[in-house]
Amino acid sequence: MSHYIERIADVGKRLEKKSLFLFGPRQTGKSSYIKNQLAESKLSWTLLDSELYRDLSIRPSLLKNTLRAKGINDGVVVLDEIQRLPELLNEVHMIIEETDIHFLLTGSSARKLKKKGVNLLGGRAGRLNFHSLVWPEIKDFETPLDRIFRSGLLPAAFSCDDYESFLSDYVGLYVKEEIEAEREVRNLPPFWEFLRIAATESGEITNYENVARDVGISGVSVREWYRILIDTLIGFEVPPYRKTKIRKPNSSSKFYLFDIGVTRKLQGLSAVEEGTAEFGRYLENYIAMEIRSYLDYSGIDKEGLSYWHAQSGQEVDFIIKEKAAVEVKATRRVSTRDLKGLKALMEEGLMEKYILVCREEYPQLLDNGILILPYKDFLSDLWDGKIV
């Protein structure tokens, strides 16, 4: 599996309409995608090139003058790691106004762009988040769940046998560099402990005060650190669904890390054994990643993902676009107990579909209307647009 894996994000089609910000955590495969699947660009610069970065920092007009010298007035121009030099976006803005060039502006985080209040091109550029590998890209490999849980779905980790070394380097180097680049985490040892706890509690309802107490810092700092993880796309929140009337809903969000292999490495687990509570949690995390990726790639508002937890205890893992309620269980044989959350939510009469994702062999439609789907069937239906 060392060859390039074809990706489904249709960046080229979006670029036909206008310029595009393409953001994603490091090593999700943005550069490989551009090299292998994007039609040839007229110019491609990376701001990781220290000499180019220096020259553009001193003379932003170098970009416009180079395009003029090369006679480039249309087509695609790629600027990689744009967050390193936010001021360059003023130059990009002027070029868009004066030419038919569409820019592909890639980076690992939009946080610096937001914080500096720089020119985000005033609607002249769309935005797409790039994710780890998703089901349509890996389904033909028929990879067992436990292997997915161990390696995760970053392309380089998924495609190699020595994924342990890759993930160790990733956590120790890329995540560290990403956080240090924010210049807001002054004391890294407590942050690493926070990151371990955030990984351990990935998929749980976030309790900032408990995390703050465990790390030994303030609740304000914990909230800011979670925000850094979200803004750098290392994690994402799933907010609570609050429209139920019969049972009062919880009002706290859940937090998930962006990749299941990175989650495992940060937790310090060597494996995720079938039959353990961790195996079930990892399956839920995996489904969360797929739903979030589907919503991004299909152009559906990312706010379309939530979860439901009643104060009386009943819970459903995911609500998608207020149409489909999805509960995830790692069981190979569904019991009545597994259906409790879905049955409670059905009493509200708010959803079109009620689905239990599991590891049963066959899909089943129960008399009460609950659809039981093996996880592979669910993922295929999700990406085929059959769930929402």
pLDDT digits over 125-162, tens only? 899 999 999 999 999 999 999 999 999 999 999 999 89
- Mean predicted lDDT score pLDDT of the chain: 92
Q: Domain 136-383 falls in which CATH fold?
A: Arc Repressor Mutant, subunit A (1.10.10)
Beta strands 315-320 and 324-328: pairing type?
A: antiparallel
Beta bridge partners of 235: 257
Kindly state the average pLDDT of the residues 334-343.
97
Which pLDDT does position 302 carry in this prediction?
A: 57
For CATH 3.40.50.300, list the domain ranges present in the chain.
11-130
With 90 as the cut, is the pLDDT of residue 5 above it? Answer: yes
Q: For the domain with range 11-130, which CATH number is right: 3.30.365.10, 3.40.50.2300, 3.40.50.300, 1.10.10.10?
A: 3.40.50.300
pLDDT bin (cut points 50, 70, 90) of residue 299 is confident
pLDDT at 192: 86
Report which of 177, 178, 130, 148 is spatially closest to residue 31, judged by C-alpha positions: 130
Lowest mean pLDDT among 65-69, 72-76, 112-116: 112-116
Give the pLDDT mean for 329-346. Answer: 97
- Residue bearing the bigger pLDDT, 176 or 349: 349
In the chain, the percentage of residues whose pLDDT exceeds 70 is 94
Cα 257 to chain centroid, rounded: 8
Residues of the chain with pLDDT > 90, as a percent, come to: 80
pLDDT in tens, 153-211: 999 999 998 999 999 999 988 777 777 666 566 667 888 899 999 999 999 999 999 99
Any idea which of 116-120, 231-235, 266-270 has the lowest mean pLDDT?
Answer: 116-120
pLDDT of residue 119: 57
> What digits encode the pLDDT tens for the residues 13-47?
999 999 999 999 989 999 999 999 998 899 999 99
Whether 256 and 202 have beta carbons less than 8 Å apart is answered as yes
How far CA 364 is from CA of 60, 320, 333, in Å, comes to 60, 20, 12
- Segment 207-217, tens digit of pLDDT: 999 999 999 99
Chain segment 319-337, per-residue pLDDT in tens? 999 999 999 999 999 999 9
**Residue intervals in the chain for CATH 1.10.10.10:** 136-383
Q: So what's the pLDDT on residue 183? A: 59
Query: According to the model, what pLDDT value does residue 303 have?
Result: 72
What's the CA gap between 322 and 354, in Å, rounded? 11
Q: Is 92 left (phi over 0), alpha (psi -120 to 50) or beta?
A: alpha
Model confidence, pTM? 0.93
Cα dist. 356→18, 122, 137, 270, 371 in Å? 40, 42, 23, 29, 6
